[in-house]
Amino acid sequence: MKRVFGVDLGGTTIKFSIIDQAGNFIDRWAIPTNTENGGASIPGDIIESLKSKMATLFERGETIEAIGVGVPGPREWRRRGSRRQPWLEQHAPGPPAAGGHGPARHPAQRR
């Protein structure tokens, strides 16, 4: 059966979930948000946590179809950054509409 990962990035914890095609929660867990060094380890922490769960799913023949990530805080389009997560600009690719190869762009900046 197909599965989807949900990631909720918070200031004190990063919460994860696995959801099935019917919208049922299959699993939930959390890890502390490491904000040292400007949060430089956050992307790696997220990846390691997801890899660990993916191994278990793959052993059972289940697949991951998508990953959804929620990030708090207002987005400052003129600065092209996030007030609370400065690492986001450096480590997270933009949405597909923005080319998927850099920070997200305000719709007015897309050309």
Q: Which ranges constitute the DSSP H helices of the chain? A: 42-59, 87-91
* CATH of 2-106 among 3.40.50.300, 3.40.80.10, 3.30.420.40, 3.30.70.20: 3.30.420.40
pLDDT of residue 103: 44
Phi/psi for 37 (5° steps) reads 55, 40
Which is more confidently placed, 11 or 104? 11
- Residue 92 CA, chain-centre distance (Å), reads 8
pLDDT in tens, 25-83: 999 999 999 989 988 999 999 999 999 999 988 898 888 899 998 887 665 555 555 45
| Separation of alpha carbons 97 and 94, rounded Å | 8
Report whether pLDDT(105) > 50: no
| Separation of alpha carbons 59 and 97, rounded Å | 34
User: pTM of this prediction?
Assistant: 0.65
Residue extents of the structural domains in the chain: 2-106
